[in-house]
Chain A
Amino acid sequence: QITLKESGPTLVKPTQTLTLTCTFSGFSLATSGVGVGWIRQPPGKALEWLALIYGNDLKRYSPSLQSRLTVTRDTSKNQVVLTMTNMDPVDAGTYFCAHRPYDPFGSMYFDYWGQGALVAVSS
């Protein structure tokens, strides 16, 4: 059974760096083609894809946020970490990590999601 869970601060100040950890079980990030992605959702708004990391350490980022994002993995701990610099109130919302399955067509989609971590940005 695949599970994922996000953890991190619920409140960050403007200009600070947000660090979120995704701890997962039920799959190995070392499996070819498998990845862990990050998606966020401001309150009452649309989903927005942020980043994806594969077991071979290949990383993909949303071009609009790439300069502020870093995603890393620790396969021994079954964890993926997302950092986002220079946080702003518009970055507030729920941040989800999710499992990207192997796909023979190379598509990016997510079949298992964490419960989400709600992050507020305020001084």
Chain B
Amino acid sequence: QSVLTQPPSASGSPGHSITISCSGSSSNIGSNFVYWYQQFPGTAPKLLIYRNNQRPSGVPDRFSGSKSGTSASLAISGLRSEDEADYHCTAWDDSLSSAVFGGGTKLTVL
């Protein structure tokens, strides 16, 4: 059972948009930054979003992050087949004194 809650799966059609949610609590998302990673099968995670809504250099602006209260979201617009991957959210948890992750969301582009 992960501290942050993500839907296990999500799907969308090419060219469409999708949003992946990440739900937490006041001790993690509610009081700290949220980060998102993209992970393809058999590879290491790649930083996608940092500090809630910032994109590292090289990440397309089709990817965007947001946070409201104790929840965060990753939005992907103009879905492409190459976006098929697992997406993980993470934040620091002040109560646990630990970084915590969501269970990951497997995105399928139909």
- Residues on A close to B: CB < 8 A? 39, 45-49, 62-64, 96, 98, 105, 107-111, 113-116
Do A47 and B98 have beta carbons less than 8 Å apart? no
Would you call B75 an interface residue if the criterion is a C-beta within 8 Å of the partner chain's C-beta atoms?
A: no
- Residues on B close to A: CB < 8 A? 2, 32-33, 35, 37, 43-47, 50-51, 56, 88, 90, 92, 96-104
CB contact under 8 A between A47 and B97, given known A96-B44, A105-B33:
no
Do A113 and B46 have beta carbons less than 8 Å apart? yes
Chain B residues with Cβ below 8 Å from A114 are: 44
Do A107 and B101 have beta carbons less than 8 Å apart? no
Do B99 and A49 have beta carbons less than 8 Å apart? yes
CB contact under 8 A between A115 and B92, given known A46-B102, A63-B97, A105-B51:
no
Chain A residues with Cβ below 8 Å from B35 are: 107, 109
Do B101 and A48 have beta carbons less than 8 Å apart? yes
Do A113 and B2 have beta carbons less than 8 Å apart? no
Chain B residues with Cβ below 8 Å from A63 are: 96-98
Shortest CB-to-CB span from A92 to chain B, Å, is 16
A62 to B96, CA, bound (A): 9
Shortest CB-to-CB span from A4 to chain B, Å, is 9
Chain B residues with Cβ below 8 Å from A113 are: 44-46
Q: What are the 4 tightest A-B residue pairs by CB atom distance, in nearest-first order?
A: A113-B44, A49-B99, A47-B101, A109-B35
